[in-house]
Amino acid sequence: MTALALRNLSVTLRGRPVLRDVSLSVARGEVVGLIGPNGAGKTTLMRAALGLLPFTGESDLAARPAAERARTAAWLPQSREIAWPMSVERLVTLGRLPHLGAGQGAGPEDRAAVDRALDRLGLAAFRERAATRLSGGEQARALIARALAQETPLLLADEPIAGLDPAHQIGAMQTFAALAGEGRAVVVSLHDLGLAVRHCTRLVLLDAGRVVADGPPGEVLTPARLAEVFRIRAFHAETEQGAVWQALDVLEEA
Ligand SMILES: Nc1ncnc2c1ncn2[C@@H]1O[C@H](COP(=O)(O)OP(=O)(O)OP(=O)(O)O)[C@@H](O)[C@H]1O
């Protein structure tokens, strides 16, 4: 079942095309890793899909009314600022807003969703703590938990694991895989190609606003593409635990 359908999506910012003719269909059960160098268009693609940027082409998500969109897709932006000293529990409860009627407080179902999200991100012990008094990585986990509490069929997350320690990076990726296992869909932008290969069911490689590869991680990530798109050489081994990639050095411009 399709969770997101984009057709010929293009975005021009300040007269410059930054997303060109992107067509993408994401099914429930998929964890789609968006990869590509800085400025490739990963954030722009997700923001346009959500209807947060003017675009040409079609996004089935952006076409929905705003209230329905918030019950369909959770959006975890790259910026991590938490301005208000509210408790972690309250912050995560904000993820339930799209499900509440006007003036309606959180009910038992909402509290259960908040508990599930706090547990998944290992934040139960922090629930009473002011979110502004968490470390950077803990704040990032609290914001992931807020997006999870929204319990939408689709999660769009922009570099959600940046700044997390290795155990929590793996934990977050496993949580995304678990969401997919429950029949949701996750689209996540990542710079850690090793984690992308290990934990995504599919990779979409963007370069200069275009999709240059889309498919199973092992087919998308090849030494030739790393050289062409990322200008790096990498160590690569197939192990019993799956593929291992480690960037080694930067290639000279041709
Ligand atoms: N408001 C804006 N006005 C003009 N150009 C913009 C604007 N926002 C982004 N861009 C440009 O659009 C291109 C794509 O940016 P985008 O943030 O989508 O890249 P990205 O792949 O998410 O990069 P990163 O890995 O650095 O987060 C970049 O060249 C960027 O400079």
- Would you kindly state where each structural domain of the chain is located, as residue ranges? 2-250
The CA distance from 127 to 115, in Å, is: 9
Supply the CATH classification number for the domain 2-250: 3.40.50.300
**Per-residue pLDDT tens digits of the chain, which is 254 residues long:** 899 999 999 999 999 999 999 999 999 999 999 999 999 999 999 999 999 999 999 999 999 999 899 999 999 999 888 888 899 999 999 999 888 877 778 788 989 999 999 999 999 999 999 999 999 999 999 999 999 999 999 999 999 999 899 999 999 999 999 999 999 999 999 999 999 999 999 999 999 999 999 999 999 999 999 999 999 999 989 998 888 888 899 998 76
- Alpha helices by DSSP H, listed for the chain, are 42-50, 66-72, 88-93, 108-120, 136-149, 166-181, 193-199, 217-220, 223-225
- Residue closest by Cα to atom 10 of ligand 1: 13
**Cα 212 to middle of ligand 1, angstroms:** 17
168 C-beta closer than 6 A to ligand 1: no
The reply to whether ipTM tops 0.90 is yes
What is the three-class DSSP state of 146?
helix
Q: Which residues contact 249 (CB under 8 A, 6 or more apart)?
A: 232, 233
Residue among 9, 10, 13 to mutate when testing ligand 1 (max atoms within 8 A of CB): 13
User: Residue for token digits 């934040």?
Assistant: 123
